[in-house]
A and B are shown apart, each in its own frame.
Chain A
Amino acid sequence: MTGHPALALRGIEKSFGGAQALAGASLVVERGTVHGLVGQNGAGKSTLIKVLAGIHAPDAGSIEIDGKNEAHLSPHHVETLGIHMIHQDRLLPPTLTVAEALLLGNEPRFARTPFINRRQLERQAAEALWNAFQVALPVRALIRDLATAEQQIVQITRALVNKPKILVLDEPTAALVHREAEMLFETIERLKSDGLTVLYISHYLSEIERLCDQVTVLRNGRDVARVSPKTTSTAEIVSLMIDRDVDSCFPARPPRRGEPLIQTDGLGNSPYFSDVTFTLRKGEIVGVTGLVGSGAKALAGTLFGLSKADAGTVLLKGRPLAAPTPAAAVARRIGLVPEDRRRHGISLDLSVRENATLPALPDFTRRGLIRAAREKNAVAGLVARLGIKTSGPEALLRTLSGGNQQKVVLSKWLIHQSELIILDEPTVGVDVGAKVDIYREISRLADEGAGVLMISSDLLELTGLADRVLVFHRGRLVADLHTAGLDQDMLLALITTGAAPKESNAPKEHHALAV
């Protein structure tokens, strides 16, 4: 590897007010490589990226891009240098067509007129999508009518259209299913061989392992290691990130069986799933998993009242559960930690206290008025118990990190004293440290007698935390297994094919194994 590194940030320091986000962090990315950046939230990843993007000016340190020292970066300038960022938020105008969104700012026009050449626009868009992902999305479709994953594909393609020299990807596969993630990886590998340099930020260490030539680990505002995933194991990388022994991630759980909490019999909700029969007991953690469209998620929605079942019965503590609305479900002490935290879980513009007590307001009401002291105590208790890092219960949620926001979501149902808690992908987008806290809480919940139903696509999480796992495939419940000693390959096969493998001949599916 001759010549300058594509990127060299050295000794970057950055403080905000009193808090020091970066205390001498360095990141050196060689040209034509895929370089991973990992670290917990709070380690300084996002700040470092923002410094690179020209959004923040560093207090100290140097930035070299392609060998040239660059001071005074701005977002526009950074782009002219060939660095393109793809953020987690989908930055696509919802009412533009795919073609328009792809080429916004670079619209092909009729010569020397300001008029857009629509046919060219659509042609170029289709070409770009095919080159990048080998997909043929309808270029006239509106962005808001696309599925999340498709929007992600458009977003990434858009960055590629500008022929960047360095591509920075921030959690790009969060919304992608396996097949699409694969396409992305193949695209990245192809672009790498064409000379593209990639900076890849992700919580999914399996992806880091697969794609990256080098990985920089950030911890507490500093880079603590620069290793190659080929020679360093995932477990080692994780311990570098959290400075803690990984195996203690999942709390040990003695088997505990209480009375039945939920009993379904032939439960169906067309077209999502049919004929689902299972029992969940108090104190149990039951995982639910399956591919997108398998019915796993819909089961959660049905139990929580987001959609009505049209067949079969559900008993909650022996009595029929009629939950036509979430309000009815909540009244029966059922709680839901939703997948889309920002849209359904918490409001960024409400305070910690307001968010946390929302489902349990009746418990804090006397004669129509809120019992303020009681509420404050309850919230303070939860903040302490879950270790929520915040300036106080009146702080608006937008000032909290993702992991802490998720803890607030959890505390909603703890304060509500839900008897059945449904968790939908509870640790997606949550950093390792917070994950451990959340696992501990979930386990404790179950120990205290609640029943936990956990939708997850994280196999480690399922086998490590749940007592049993229900596997859905194409709308049917195909397996109800104890997780003790469960073979991961068999689980994977059940998820992807609906049947246990006869021989372990199935190709190694690269499912997102996260830590």
Chain B
Amino acid sequence: MKSFHRYGLPFTLAVLFAMFASISPTFPTLANLHSLLMNHVALLSLIALAMTLVVAAGGIDLSVGTAVDMAGFAFIASLANGLPALLAILFGLIAALGVGLFNAVLVAGIRVPPFLATLGTLFIGHSVQQLSTGGGVPIYLIAGPPRPIFSEVDMARPWLSLAAIAVVLVVLDFSVFGRRIVAEGIAPAVARFSGLSVRRDIGLVMLGSTLLTGIAGIALSSGVHSYSPLSGNAYLMDAIGATFLGTTFDANRRANVIGTILGVLLLSTVKNGLLLAGVSFYWQQVANGTLIFTVLAISFSTKGKEATALSGH
């Protein structure tokens, strides 16, 4: 019973999967699951993994959507201006890294707390996008000459996500960098007094995580052949949700890769399942929210009572 809280997440996922499968015959079909994984899961995984890294390092990144959008913007705008596809991808990644660099300077250099730093970045990113697109006008590349890069990126997408999961898993759980950032996230002062360069490491995390969101941004805009300002923000709440739902999976409630992916799967399953179950469009979100609430309730309320610090030690 002690670690029951760990299994709330996978348990709920399994139950929901079975439930939706029984309600709607379309749900468990290969075609549906394939589409689910290719689209929402693949993209959200990338963004949620970026969030997981930052949260593991003791922070939170409200600007993940901004990095996604910047990458998409640079990518699509480059293509629109006739630049070769590979260069467009490069610019997309650089744009995302630019956001990461900005965050890194704020957090590691000026020591602004990550919540406020990325909040600022988010706001500045809003303005930058609005101003660059003349008030929020999307860039469409749907018509016009066919661009093979889009389908190439689409095909690469699932592999990119899988690779990202593997890489982040190895980094967080097995690498020395991962060990450092986890320690720094939990006890930055102790880490410093143990000879770790806390500021340098958090800066690297803020910078490196935008590589993942950059890939997501390029993949997102590839999928729809366009860039819409502020479209990345829709992923912010889900990325936070998945990451923190994922912490319930860890014995010590730390942000972890498997948990985050389970969280992503849960959120995506619920969305898709409700849709296919014919739940009225308007009630979908209510059901969505209620399910998440339930998972959280199970996980947090079955956690053992924590010892208060009034011990004599």
Contact = CB atoms under 8 A, between A and B. Distances in A.
B197 A358 contact: no
Given A349-B252, A370-B176, A412-B194, A358 B307 contact: no
A368 B177 contact: yes
A277 B195 CA distance: 26
A46 interface: yes
Q: Which of B176, B189, B195, B252 has the most CB of A within 10 A?
A: B195
B108 to A, nearest CB: 14
Contact of B175 (A89, A368, A401): A368
A508 interface: no
A325 B191 CA distance: 12
B310 interface: yes
B180 interface: yes
Given A368-B175, A369-B174, A370-B174, A41 B252 contact: no
Category for how many chain A residues contact B: 35 or more
A370 B175 contact: yes
A347 interface: yes
B312 A45 contact: yes
A365 B193 contact: no
Contact of A354 (B170, B179, B193): B179
Contact of B310 (A87, A330, A345, A369): A87
A344 B190 contact: yes
A362 B176 contact: yes
Contacts, number: 89
Contacts of A170: 312
B192 A326 contact: yes
B196 interface: yes
A426 interface: no
A345 B309 CA distance: 17
Q: Classify chain B: how many residues form its interface, as a range.
A: 20 to 34
A368 B194 contact: no
B299 to A, nearest CB: 18
Contact of A358 (B194, B252, B310, B312): B194
Given A326-B195, A329-B195, A369-B175, A358 B309 contact: no
A396 interface: yes
B183 interface: yes
Interface string B189-210: 1111111110000000000000
A446 B313 CA distance: 29
Contacts of B175: 368-370
A433 interface: no
A466 B241 CA distance: 55
B195 A327 contact: yes
Contacts of A514: none
Contacts of A329: 195
B311 A46 contact: yes
B176 A369 contact: yes
B310 A344 contact: no
A336 interface: yes
Given A344-B189, A350-B186, A396-B252, A331 B313 contact: no
A344 B196 CA distance: 12
Given A330-B195, A361-B180, A370-B179, A46 B190 contact: no
Nearest to A304: B193
B162 interface: no
Contacts of B312: 41, 45-47, 49-50, 88, 170
A378 B309 CA distance: 30
Given A325-B197, A347-B186, A401-B313, A358 B176 contact: no
B15 interface: no
B310 A347 contact: no
B86 interface: no
B156 interface: no
6 contacts: A46-B311, A326-B193, A349-B252, A364-B176, A370-B174, A396-B252
Given A338-B193, A358-B190, A361-B176, 14 more contacts: A326-B192, A327-B196, A344-B189, A344-B193, A345-B190, A346-B187, A347-B187, A349-B186, A350-B187, A354-B182, A361-B196, A362-B176, A365-B176, A369-B175
Q: Which 5 A-B pairs have the closest CB atoms?
A: A46-B312, A330-B195, A347-B187, A358-B194, A344-B193
